[in-house]
Amino acid sequence: MASTALLIIGLLLLVGGAELLVRGAGKLALSLGISPLVVGLTIVSIGTSAPEVAVSLGSALQGQADLALGNVLGSNIFNVLFILGVSAVILPLSVNAQIVRQEIPVMIGASLLLLPLMLDGVVNRWEGLLMLGLMAAYIVHLVRSPSQESAEVERELLDELPKDSAWDRHWAVQLLLIAGGLALLILGARWLVDAAVEIARSLGVSELVIGLTIVAAGTSAPEVATSVMAALRGQRDIAIGNVVGSNIFNILGCLGLVAAVAPGGMPVAPAALHFDYWVMLATALACLPVMLSAREIARWEGAVFVGYYVAYCAFLILRAQQHDALGAYSTAMLSFVVPLTIIAMVASLMKGQRQP
């Protein structure tokens, strides 16, 4: 009970810290004359991924590398399957052409890049610096490459930026908000990591499984709130762009920072390399045909995404317990459910291509 309470408190501190960090840094940047588009593409996007960074970096520095890697892989899986799925069930999500043309290929490319870096069992410091360099180059490209969608995207990003208020207009208050947000992120990450490790030991499951499920879902709370609220308001591009941007930052920014800072780099658990990485890659690849089919994620596709996330979590639980039903469950998924879903998505893609 104490570990569960500590985990919940840690999650609340992470969410609160991210909110303070985004408000303080966002208002400070705007007051310095930086455009809303740049602030939205950098501070807001990075701020929603701040819990993943805090937890992964904190766990890696404490020697819990499996928890760090599981948090990022699990968060990316959760973002696509659960958050996009729930958002699409609420309201079918229309997809901005720039997201299909640029952001999704970058997300897939970042996911593919991770494989050769993991094959030797560790992502070393130089590979982490390479990933951070690619993240910086991507942000610079977004800022310096105007597109026909930029004006529309900028208008939508205004809804994500901190609202104007009198009490936080002074730079000193903004700096205090940034410092307070960082402090809450550090404290929340430490408590959450400690609680997650204790829960894993008490349940007899690996830290990787806890990172892939409980920690991943918890640190994705800002993305859940942003995307679901955007869907409820009808801001369907933000719901998708928030998830895709977060996934790119999780791989290049979060894992890159962990590998660059952690002593000896970031070790890679065999289970993560042989299974969970491929699930993350499959979810990234699944976005392209779904969105190309009609530039929309329909409600039934969203329901399929949510169903797959539930199935994935069920598999992790069965695998952790070495349950007798694991073999039959895996066979059913691979022999029936996955092929039927692929056939349905290919048919949807062909139908969308035939439409003018």
pLDDT at residue 115 greater than cutoff 60 = yes
Q: Which helix (H) or strand (E) holds 247?
A: helix 236-248
In a domain, 91, yes or no: yes
In a domain, 231, yes or no: yes
pLDDT at residue 226 greater than cutoff 90 = no
- Among 314, 291, 307, 249, which residue's Cα sits nearest to residue 89? 307
pLDDT tens figures, 124-150: 999 999 999 999 998 888 777 655 445
pLDDT at residue 341 greater than cutoff 70 = no
CATH of the domain at 105: 1.20.1420.30
In a domain, 193, yes or no: yes
pLDDT at residue 354 greater than cutoff 60 = no
Look up the domain containing 73 and give its range: 2-289
In a domain, 40, yes or no: yes
Confidence tier at 227 by pLDDT (50, 70, 90): confident
Least confident of 40-44, 91-95, 174-178, 184-188: 40-44
In a domain, 316, yes or no: no
Higher pLDDT, 341 or 258: 258
CB 268 within 8 A of CB 69: yes
Q: Give the pLDDT confidence score for residue 127 in this predicted structure.
A: 94
Count Cβ atoms below 10 Å from residue 308 Cβ, excluding itself: 23
Of 58-62, 217-221, 231-235, 282-286, highest mean pLDDT: 282-286
Number of domains in the chain: 1
Higher pLDDT, 188 or 167: 188
In a domain, 294, yes or no: no
Number of alpha helices (DSSP H) and beta strands (DSSP E) in the chain? 21, 4
